[in-house]
């Protein structure tokens, strides 16, 4: 079945450091890929998405490129801020997914210290 | 515009009681989804609606769980005879249409359910 694997946290960084969160997936066909973010005390928010191979999603300084050959969708940000402290979820939605569901990774908690 | 709203935000109940969780999707969104977020299981898909119908209920963890949607808008997730393992955050999401796999799902803030 479909699955998403992302690096376990917590990831602790200093402000202005470079952030990478690895995400790999298994799916039949060509899924759409998403990164969602959950800030403390808030709901899930879409951060960025990519719908086909080599697409790059970007938002708020974050980027992720859909790599079909390595089945990956790693999230990166060049200079993190304290406000980026959150839990980040990688997710996929397979073509004709049963129930149109999103399949999520386990989440990666990121803590940015001043 | 208004986002997805859920009520209550927190619910504490005793084992064996029934609970109802409510979701108001974004206006105009025809697809509605329920997920569960728990420590042991991460984020799990439960059920989705296209309009008022639920084509796939296979994600519901047991027959104690049911959901309905009326008027193509509000949805209610009902858990009967709650068990401690039902304790989780129940998330609702909506999207414009269910048939477009690139469509974005927008999530509500969730209902935190605690079963004592």
Is it the case that residue B99 has pLDDT exceeding 70? no
Residue B56: predicted pLDDT: 78
Give the one of A31, A95, A107 whose C-beta lies nearest to B42's C-beta: A107
B18: burial class by Cβ within 10 Å (0-12, 13-18, 19+)?
Answer: exposed
Residue B102: predicted pLDDT: 66
Q: With an 8 Å Cβ cutoff, are B101 and A96 in contact? A: yes
A70: burial class by Cβ within 10 Å (0-12, 13-18, 19+)?
Answer: exposed
Name every chain B residue with its beta carbon within 8 A of the beta carbon of A101.
Answer: 33, 45, 48, 59
Q: With an 8 Å Cβ cutoff, are A98 and B109 in contact? A: no
SS3 assignment, position B27? coil
Please state the φ and ψ torsions of residue A99, each to the nearest 5 degrees: 75, 10
A41-85 confidence digits (pLDDT tens): 888 999 999 999 999 999 999 999 999 999 999 999 999 999 999
More confident residue, B54 or A18: A18
């Amino acid at each position: 079945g479909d699955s998403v694997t992302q690096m376990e946290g917590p990831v602790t960084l200093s402000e202005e450091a470079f952030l990478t969160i690895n995400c790999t997936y298994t799916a039949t066909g060509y899924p759409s890929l998403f990164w969602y973010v959950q800030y403390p005390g808030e709901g899930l928010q879409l951060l960025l998405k990519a719908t086909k191979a080599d697409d790059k999603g970007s938002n708020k300084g974050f980027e992720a490129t859909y790599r079909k050959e390595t089945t990956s969708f790693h999230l990166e940000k060049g200079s993190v801020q304290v406000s980026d402290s959150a839990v980040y979820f990688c997710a996929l939605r397979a073509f004709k997914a049963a129930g149109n569901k999103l399949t999520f990774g386990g989440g990666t908690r990121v803590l940015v210290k001043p | 515009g208004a986002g997805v709203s859920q009520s209550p935000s927190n619910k504490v109940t005793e084992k064996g009681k029934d609970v109802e969780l409510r979701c108001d999707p974004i206006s105009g969104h025809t697809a509605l989804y329920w997920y569960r977020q728990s420590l042991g299981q991460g984020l799990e898909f439960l059920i989705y609606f296209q309009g008022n119908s639920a084509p796939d209920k296979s994600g519901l963890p047991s027959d104690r769980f049911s959901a309905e949607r009326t008027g193509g808008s509000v949805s209610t997730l009902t858990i009967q005879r709650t068990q401690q393992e039902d304790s989780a955050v129940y998330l609702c999401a909506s999207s414009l249409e269910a048939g477009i796999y690139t469509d974005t799902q927008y999530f509500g803030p969730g209902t935190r359910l605690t079963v004592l």
